[in-house]
């Protein structure tokens, strides 16, 4: 039996009564090991998010898929998952239909990367990883010339912190990361686990409004949009507008679906208050999930102090919990 977690903070007219409550982590279903390294991934808290979902639903819909941590944890039998980043959706389709081609290309790039590490002798691990920059930059250049699933998978595993960052001109610009990308054997294993969990999912490259247009009565929708302030340069999501999301959520609710939304948590030391105002009456429940310091902020601060950088994930629900 799944443990039901009851959020205690209630929404009042678009503002929140501040109350903190201890979170219990539901360990009923663990997320699969991450296939992609993706900034903003909900890997750490996917089980907790899942524990707030109704036990019965018709289909699962996730319009901002990214690395799909919640989808992979839930492993629904019927689902639609969308993202506006085309090469990302291509990765998910290839996992379903042609995982071998993905693995072969990854293996080739990974071998090049490892060879370049061995050819430069350095006692310092950081320095020797930098020597793989040539391979990394070659793959990134190829991606920028012609964005595709194969290069994006390797980039996601080898770039700095999974920060999928684009310039205004749409070029992927994140530098090489400090960790070695996972081995092809490990990738193969992960791909197999994921294939078993996404068999019932239809992947679509679409704006969230289109994906949410497929929502009908009895569905559960999980939205994890790019952060309003800090993520506009990420994933090429410059066009994301939160007011359009409010509209889409409202329509889903009117059609009889339940919608969950992860939204900017409060970064304590920031001067900008990241808490958003949302339309009155849209949400009926809220949970704050503490998840430590944010990877994005670590990237932005490049090694300076992270004291006070705790991030809370805010989860809003459009329905009232049964036991309230």
Q: Which residues bind ligand SAM (CB under 6 A)?
A: 38, 40-42, 63-64, 66-67, 69, 83-85, 207-208, 224-226, 235, 237, 240
d(CA 69, CA 199): 15
User: Token digits for 69?
Assistant: 């941590």
Which helix (H) or strand (E) segment holds residue 261: the answer is strand 258-263
- % helix, strand, coil for the chain, step of 5: 35, 15, 50
Q: Which residue is nearest to ligand SAM (CB)?
A: 66
Question: Toward ligand SAM, which CB reaches closer, 67 or 201?
Answer: 67
Question: Toward ligand SAM, which CB reaches closer, 135 or 262?
Answer: 262
Minimum CB distance to ligand SAM, residue 50 (Å): 12
Minimum CB distance to ligand SAM, residue 239 (Å): 6
d(CA 297, CA 279): 28
DSSP secondary structure code for residue 298 in this structure: H
- Are 224 and 64 in contact, with CB atoms under 8 Å apart? yes
Minimum CB distance to ligand SAM, residue 100 (Å): 24
Minimum CB distance to ligand SAM, residue 6 (Å): 23
**DSSP of 72-111, one letter per residue?**
HHH--SSEEEEES-HHHHHHHHHHHH-HHHHHHHHHHHHH
Question: Toward ligand SAM, which CB reaches closer, 81 or 129?
Answer: 81
- Are 4 and 51 in contact, with CB atoms under 8 Å apart? yes
Minimum CB distance to ligand SAM, residue 223 (Å): 9
Question: Toward ligand SAM, which CB reaches closer, 113 or 203?
Answer: 203
d(CA 174, CA 162): 9
Question: Toward ligand SAM, which CB reaches closer, 41 or 158?
Answer: 41
Question: Toward ligand SAM, which CB reaches closer, 67 or 135?
Answer: 67
Minimum CB distance to ligand SAM, residue 215 (Å): 14
d(CA 101, CA 200): 21
């Amino acid at each position: 039996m799944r443990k039901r977690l009851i959020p205690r903070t209630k929404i009042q007219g678009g503002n929140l009564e501040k109350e903190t409550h201890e979170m219990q982590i539901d360990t009923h279903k663990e997320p699969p090991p991450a296939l992609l390294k993706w900034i903003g991934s909900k890997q750490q808290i996917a089980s907790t998010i899942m524990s707030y979902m109704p036990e019965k639903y018709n289909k699962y819909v996730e319009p901002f898929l990214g690395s799909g941590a919640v989808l992979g944890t839930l492993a629904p039998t019927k689902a639609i998952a969308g993202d506006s980043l085309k090469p990302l959706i291509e990765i998910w389709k290839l996992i379903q239909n042609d995982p071998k081609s993905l693995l072969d290309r990854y293996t080739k790039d990974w071998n090049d990367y490892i060879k370049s590490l061995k050819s430069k002798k350095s006692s310092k691990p950081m320095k020797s990883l930098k020597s793989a920059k040539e391979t990394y930059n070659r793959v990134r250049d190829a991606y920028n010339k012609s964005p595709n699933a194969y290069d994006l998978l390797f980039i996601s595993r080898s770039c700095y912190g999974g920060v999928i960052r684009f310039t205004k001109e749409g070029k992927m610009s994140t530098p090489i990361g400090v960790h070695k990308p996972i081995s092809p054997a490990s990738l193969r294993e992960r791909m197999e686990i994921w294939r078993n969990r996404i068999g019932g999912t239809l992947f679509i490259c679409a704006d969230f409004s289109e994906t949410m247009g497929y929502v009908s009565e009895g569905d559960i929708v999980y939205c994890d949009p790019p952060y309003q302030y800090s993520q506009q340069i990420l994933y090429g999501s410059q066009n994301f507008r939160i007011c359009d999301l409010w509209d889409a959520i409202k329509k889903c609710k009117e059609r009889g679906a339940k919608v969950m939304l992860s939204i900017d948590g409060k970064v304590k030391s920031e001067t900008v208050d990241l808490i958003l105002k949302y339309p009155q009456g849209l949400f009926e429940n809220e949970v704050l999930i503490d998840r430590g310091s944010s990877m994005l902020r670590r990237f932005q601060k490049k090694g300076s102090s992270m004291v006070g950088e705790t991030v809370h994930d805010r989860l809003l629900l459009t329905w009232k919990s049964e036991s309230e």
